[in-house]
Amino acid sequence: MSLTKNKPYIIFRIPQELRSEMEQDLRRPHSYACERVGFLFTKSKWIDQNKILIVAISYQCVADEHYIEDPTVGAKIGSEAIRSAMQTMFDMKSGCFHVHLHDHQGRPGPSATDKKGLPGVIESFANIAGGQPTGILILSKDNFFTAIKVTSNKRLYPASLVSVVGFPMRFCFNSSRTVIQDNVFKRQSFLGPSAQWLFENVRIGIVGYGGGGSHIGQQLAHIGVRHIAIFDGDHIEDSNLNRLIGGQRKDILKGLAKTSIARRTIKAILPTAKVTIINSRWQDAPDMLQQCDLIIGGIDTYAERQQLEAECRRYLIPYLDIGMDVYQSGEEPPTMSGQVMLSLPGKPCFWCYGFLSEEKLAKEAAKYGKVGGRPQVVWPNGVLASTAVGILVELITGWTQRKDAHIYLEYDGNIGQMKDHVRIRFCDKTCSHYPLQNTGPVRFKSV
């Protein structure tokens, strides 16, 4: 098994539901096989000439009768199992990974039997994969081994990052983990021994850098998040100064882009930060968005949220949304409200929670109340952004050990209260709007 390191850069995302399904299946006892194997089906996309994104969409176990009794190996499967997997690949137009489990902590590695027998299986899969990556995935209790065929040659490459998309996330980088020793971050060491290393390596996207987005950028810099991509095509105006963190009066005269203000603010706090700025809507640079491990959005309309959530679901990216509004009815004082929501693949979406609906999208009249055009002030944006950053840190580090992925918080700005939205109690805990089988790049089918 010829395994070549470092090229290309491969991002491999697996939903937590599939990770659990694989582990549960591979732990089942068999009457004579010492271990089990299975097949993970994937969709992929080349982001550029040297970077590829692979997303897992479904898992197929091997039927008991398709194992061959052979005491010299842990598990041996017959041609029926291979043919079944290849048929599924053909039907789904997907890639396929041979999966098995090494039941220990730490990064697993292939056995001598794996090295001898599995490259031939990968070649067989590659013959019908239509350019989709194929390969080997070995699970351990807390990590992965990958050997991936991405081109027509016989070389196999490791994934640069395997992430399990769940609550919390699990990030398995191929690079060596180093201890970050920096007095700047010593008071947040309670987040865990790996927290600072994770902040150094994960990639966070901020969509919309107006009010809430500017708070988020500043806070990510303070906690040490080093890779930040910012999507915003606007330039600062005088009406932005009441809420745009880092904005200055002299920036208005220069017509400075909000993304430039973002980079200046972030790098003033964290000089080593690598800030990628996209001076346009995210729809104009989808490849940049798809590389992000998590997204936080501070956008205005229901239609924008619908589009962004759909894109994040398709590429298995957790999406945190923040938003605020001010309404006024008659002679009553204005009512300030807001929300912080998490859209996590496999879990309830904005449609499930009733936050998005066809009626709302049709009217789009609830954007702003009768207070005037786009009412925004700095303090509720700060509350909502801080709450979202706290959830993001929990997603990355798992420091609270909470397993509840259902996050829909409502904010009452008149009394300064944040609480669970009542709709959490009544929505289905699984999502039917974005099935995992629809994950990955859009593929058109002739009719």
Report DSSP letters for 75-134, one per residue: --B-HHHHHHHHHHHHHHT-EEEEEEE--SSS-----HHHHHHHHHHHHHHHHHSTT--E
User: pLDDT digits over 385-407, tens only?
Assistant: 999 999 999 999 999 998 877 99
Domains, the chain: 9-165 (3.40.140), 183-436 (3.40.50.720)
Structure tokens at 190: 């309670």
Mean pLDDT score, 329-349: 92
Query: Which of 77-86, 142-151, 362-371 has the weakest average pLDDT?
Result: 362-371
Residues linked to residue 144 through DSSP beta bridges, in sequence order? 139
pLDDT band (50, 70, 90) for residue 6 = low
d(CA 349, CA 337): 20
Task: Determine the average pLDDT of the residues in 238-243.
Answer: 92
CA–CA separation, 42 and 38 (whole Å): 13
What confidence tens digit (pLDDT) does each residue in 95-115 have? 999 999 999 999 999 988 888
Q: Which range, of 69-78, 199-208, 314-323, averages the lowest pLDDT?
A: 69-78
For 270-310, what is each residue's pLDDT tens digit?
Answer: 999 999 999 999 999 999 999 999 999 999 889 999 999 99
Cα 63 to its chain centre, rounded Å, is 32
